A and B are shown apart, each in its own frame.
Chain A
């Protein structure tokens, strides 16, 4: 009886050893995944919280009579996010795009945009996934931005334009252009509602969150 019990115990041990190892590996692997997955999730969350300074913004208004303008601005990202995984330090991004707004046959404002220059002076992969590596980025929440309906329509059209540039989901360009768009909207925001969106009196430096 004792021999039988011992042999059964031995058998049980043999059978349970792989199971024990397997479930131990399960717990360990789940634990190893927790931190990268958390960072990956927080990376997107951090994109909402971004401080930057528009270091320089110039608008060429020589074609303003044709409702067209050329905008050039330099952004300096400062402390982009409180999330420690995304501390990238100051990064500079110079964006130059040419855009216009005109009325179509029905009198509706129509915009078009063309990105003519994109220059980033400091980049660093901040996401572990190489496909999602971006220099630095932010996005805007249109609900928090005071825009007139025309400006909002222009914003939507600009977003559509950016999306059409990048239908495969290469987020980099879209994010950078969002920065440009955000600074553009800063300039829009100080324009009188209903007035010409391309103001000449743009402050040299602004900060927003």
Chain B
């Protein structure tokens, strides 16, 4: 009796897990991107935007550290290595896109004068690349992989 109940419960739980896993992964990646975008844009708007080139200062190391912590947390939630590796690329791409959109937002919402359109777009591209490369992708990947291992160890 107990065995049957347990089997039924287990199969139901496994089914629920399969059903929930995909949207959960998508949600985690989106949330990861939003947090990362927020960190990067706050860094940009506070003036410490050249993360890639001036890593060894507190103001620029702080966002990097925050991104690493967030990546660890995302790795814990994504758990398996396939989701983590795919999630890193997806989250990174989405973060870059959102950050670019954020920097170019005055232009997109029509607040910036047309004279500055090119300047803003060029600034956005330059800032995004100087902020993200080369350190941020490593931060994402290493943090998420560490989170995956941590998940195995913890749960």
CB within 8 Å of B: which residues of A?
1, 4, 8, 11, 14-15, 18-19, 21-23, 25-26, 29-30, 32-33, 36-37, 39-45, 47-48, 128-132, 139, 141, 159, 168-169, 171, 174, 178
Contacts and interface: CB of A to CB of B under 8 A. Distances in A.
B106 A41 contact: yes
Chain A interface mostly helix, strand, loop or mixed?
helix
Nearest to A127: B45
Which residue, of A23, A26, A130, A159, has the highest number of chain B Cβ atoms within 10 A? A26
Given A26-B35, A169-B119, A18 B77 contact: yes
Interface string B86-105: 00000000000000001001
A22 B75 CA distance: 11
Contacts of A130: 47
B70 interface: yes
Nearest to B38: A29
Nearest to A46: B111
Contacts of B154: 14
B42 interface: yes
Interface in B112-151: 112-113, 115-116, 118-120, 122-123, 127
Given A1-B5, A45-B106, A169 B122 contact: yes
B28 A22 contact: yes
A47 B113 contact: yes
Nearest to A25: B35
Contact of A29 (B13, B34, B106): B34
Please classify how large the interface on chain B is, using the bins under 10, 10 to 19, 20 to 34, 35 or more. 35 or more
Contacts, number: 106
B153 interface: no
22 contacts: A11-B155, A14-B155, A15-B155, A18-B76, A25-B35, A26-B34, A29-B38, A32-B38, A32-B42, A37-B105, A40-B45, A44-B112, A45-B111, A47-B112, A47-B113, A128-B45, A129-B47, A129-B49, A131-B123, A131-B127, A132-B123, A168-B122
A178 B116 CA distance: 12
B64 interface: no
Contacts of A18: 73, 76-77
A129 B154 CA distance: 41
B116 A44 contact: yes
Contact of A22 (B47, B77, B118): B77
